[in-house]
């Protein structure tokens, strides 16, 4: 089992502030941290990967952009 620190989260594109992380963990929308030594938190890598998969799956598809017009009107 691998643990990620804040740098590990940022490397995966998760750049929440400490207060955002705490709020998301409290309301159950982000995996809970494992307390490390001192004040440093760590997260289980597999849980973070699952979180990212769920975020990707929850995306709503964007409407395609209209086709670019070619040429100019007369």
Question: Which DSSP string corresponds to 3-36?
Answer: EE-HHHHHHTT----HHHHHHHHHTTSSPPPEE-
- CA-CA distance, 59 to 74, in Å (whole number)? 42
- CA-CA distance, 5 to 42, in Å (whole number)? 5
For residue 45, pLDDT beyond 80 = yes
Q: Read off the pLDDT of each residue in 20-29 and give the average, rounded to a whole number.
A: 97
For residue 70, pLDDT beyond 90 = no
Q: Read off the pLDDT of each residue in 25-54 and give the average, rounded to a whole number.
A: 94
For residue 66, pLDDT beyond 70 = yes
Report long-range pairs for 67-71 (Cβ below 8 Å, ≥24 apart): none
- CA-CA distance, 47 to 31, in Å (whole number)? 6
Instruction: Write the pLDDT tens digit of every residue in 50-59.
Output: 999 999 988 8
């Amino acid at each position: 089992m691998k643990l990620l620190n804040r740098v590990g989260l940022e490397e995966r594109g998760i750049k929440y502030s400490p207060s955002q992380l705490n709020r998301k963990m409290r309301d159950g929308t982000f995996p809970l941290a494992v307390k490390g030594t001192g004040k440093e938190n760590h997260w289980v890598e597999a849980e973070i990967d699952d979180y990212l998969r769920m975020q990707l799956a929850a995306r709503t598809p964007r409407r395609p952009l209209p086709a670019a017009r070619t040429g100019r009107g007369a």
